[in-house]
Structure 1
């Protein structure tokens, strides 16, 4: 099968978990014998007039990376304009594939879009080639803001997501929670929704049992510094944890828009000296911190999946995670980690204390989490299930889809 994957991030351009997901999926599909082309973008700061589209084959995948059409747009300030400019460049590059760009006019059998930022090029290219459109919705704007879409940009992003969902011929989500969320937000005329979990390549994550720690406990958070990731709850919990476990520290790895606010929260809770912000870590650095900490705390208030939970399990660090969305499916409470309700600081404190008080039991759960990865989260299995969705996808009759409903209330609790 000839597959055209459209994604706004693909190595070396990686913003978050989506880029890693698309990379592993593309490589596994290619390894299974499919012809895979990934249409993505070059790093920010490149423009089409001075940085032409580049294409190269890596790991069996042809990667076509476009430059930005208007380099003066800033993603954080001109999100919709920036996205449309990127989409325009992607459409031009995608159409050229069928004009002798690959071999003798390569054309896909299916187009696979990843998230709303590539809605315009993915929909246009599926229509141009007259092939099914499969979309993986990794998150929703309403979910990220608890259902409150009060800002103009928020409502615009939601509308594009709704359009992509309703224009798709099949939809994939990474968790049952996300499936329900997508159905609630974008239904009722949606195509079939398949749940296919994220995967992980365990060979790149060295497992290591915890070494006895005679000093203060070390907690670790890894993720984007955004409100929905719940870092503020981990900071609020730290003073209580330190009362029973003096000297406990929290290391925060990641970047995001809430960095300054989170630093202020550390000062408000009088733990500024006990909270360290590391910024973004490369793979080797991250693995070192995963091996050195006593537990990883993932306090998300909203989490479509939470791939860091799999990476932490692969490295052998005990998991303490909220039950938000996909985290509640990735971590089995009492078996592969300890869980608490999203936003429940008291529950977070209890789970951390139990983990620190009984390191032997915590290590047993960590081993169980690692063992589960090879059964439930193998990338080969993810690729096989995705290929089955491709094979069953048929181009639907396009009917007028009207206007989207804009939620103005909290989403149902899926914690």
Structure 2
């Protein structure tokens, strides 16, 4: 039986972003066919070691950073918090490797799956020190290959770290063909990159009767009332981190035109990040009363109510390695508008598209598309129906788990055929 160690920053109940939702769905599906261990961060309140669902979980507890995170949740969109998070990851990485070292050769995994370049220290030490084969799961390249101009600093080490990890990894797993193509264009070895598309966050939940829609509609109506939105007012919904690459500032700019054309329209922003920036833009543009925010991260039960309340979901991302929010909105049968940063896989049949694409950097294009759909209930209904069917028929976590396991098996088969390599390979990119 394969022994796989996952090194990943989020694991239930510590879910604060799309990575956590990915781990929550795919890990249980991989736990049956193999012996699985997870090395992950501790928010200061979780057990250091536990067995859950056939998975061994190790969460080292750091006193200083654990004490900080117990008082408040670190928000990576703030520079100081981002630095603290990276420090926490690097410190924890060192402890993961010490744990694997102390397990001895027989107690170590056959393969280490490293999720994202922030876990670079564990990936490099597992390769060079423990001589273990490494698979790099690259869920985001926003700090490296796709780093926006001015992000962090011009001297950011992440592009170098990503390339280093790619050189030592037996395989690089990404979520979409677009990410694979961008990496290849940046000089990465295309032959080592595997595309494994994800499933949907709410996969099959509505279709299989996992929702009481009448109860959910009532909860959504209560949410409207709490937010001060009239029952007849159209609602646009944005879900995601409040930062530049999510296109939220262009969406706010577009709202001035949207409100003029469709009076009463309210934008609801669900997520954490630059909430102060949102308030400043709302005040400067005269949108007071037309924009509401959730006040931070929203867990799944409450998130369903936000989706149910929405007339249209708008995610104008400039960059998105996959975009689980798209699968959420589509699964809930909400007409969905996506920015050009999303993968075109969500389009489905171009003749009968499952979503509408816009240029996320163009506020006029955002406004034009929203206004057009608001004026056409039939088009909204058709888009919602096709989106829900796309998620149900095309996206599957079981398929994603099977394809991921196939990558691991291929790596280990190659290792057995060349035992003298000790987990190392030449990769000249």
TM-score, normalised via structure 1 length: 0.84
Q: Per-residue CA shift, 1:62-89, capped at 9, x if unaligned? A: 2221223753886434455433212112
- Partners of 2:107 and 2:373 lie apart in 1 by 54
Q: Relative to structure 1, is the Cα distance of residues 80 and 54 closer, same or farther in structure 2, using a 3 angstrom cutoff?
A: closer
Correspondence 1:41 to 2:41: yes
1:243 Cα deviation from its structure 2 partner: 1.6
- Partners of 1:252 and 1:340 lie apart in 2 by 19
Correspondence 1:341 to 2:343: no
Correspondence 1:65 to 2:59: yes
- Partners of 1:228 and 1:131 lie apart in 2 by 35
Q: Relative to structure 1, is the Cα distance of residues 305 and 169 closer, same or farther in structure 2, using a 3 angstrom cutoff?
A: same
Mark the runs of 5 or more structure 1 residues left unpaired by the alignment.
Answer: 100-104, 403-415
Is 2:110–2:133's contact at 8 Å kept on the other side of the alignment?
yes
SS in 2 for 1:272: coil
- Partners of 1:216 and 1:137 lie apart in 2 by 40
- Partners of 1:88 and 1:295 lie apart in 2 by 45
Is 1:239–1:271's contact at 8 Å kept on the other side of the alignment?
yes
Correspondence 1:303 to 2:303: no
Q: Relative to structure 1, is the Cα distance of residues 176 and 29 closer, same or farther in structure 2, using a 3 angstrom cutoff?
A: same
- Partners of 2:104 and 2:347 lie apart in 1 by 44
Aligned to 1:198: 198
Count of aligned positions: 386
| Among candidates 393, 400, 410, match of residue 382 of structure 1 | 400
Correspondence 1:12 to 2:6: no
Q: Relative to structure 1, is the Cα distance of residues 188 and 305 closer, same or farther in structure 2, using a 3 angstrom cutoff?
A: closer
Correspondence 1:266 to 2:268: no
1:264 Cα deviation from its structure 2 partner: 1.2
- Partners of 2:259 and 2:86 lie apart in 1 by 44
1:97 Cα deviation from its structure 2 partner: 3.9
Correspondence 1:224 to 2:241: yes
Q: Per-residue CA shift, 1:327-364, capped at 9, x if unaligned? A: x3224465212111221212211221222122232122
Aligned to 1:350: 368
Is 1:171–1:191's contact at 8 Å kept on the other side of the alignment?
no
Mark the runs of 5 or more structure 2 residues left unpaired by the alignment.
Answer: 69-79, 222-229, 416-422
Q: Per-residue CA shift, 1:147-202, capped at 9, x if unaligned? A: 556715x62122222221222110011111111222233x2456510111111252
- Partners of 2:361 and 2:145 lie apart in 1 by 15
Q: Relative to structure 1, is the Cα distance of residues 385 and 363 closer, same or farther in structure 2, using a 3 angstrom cutoff?
A: same
- Partners of 2:360 and 2:390 lie apart in 1 by 24
| Among candidates 285, 289, 292, match of residue 276 of structure 1 | 292
Aligned to 2:338: 321
SS in 1 for 2:289: helix
- Partners of 1:384 and 1:182 lie apart in 2 by 24
Is 2:234–2:264's contact at 8 Å kept on the other side of the alignment?
yes
Aligned to 1:151: 153
- Partners of 1:214 and 1:81 lie apart in 2 by 46
SS in 2 for 1:57: strand
- Partners of 2:292 and 2:244 lie apart in 1 by 18
Is 2:269–2:293's contact at 8 Å kept on the other side of the alignment?
yes
| Among candidates 228, 239, 242, match of residue 256 of structure 2 | 239
- Partners of 2:130 and 2:188 lie apart in 1 by 27
Q: CA RMSD in A?
A: 2.9
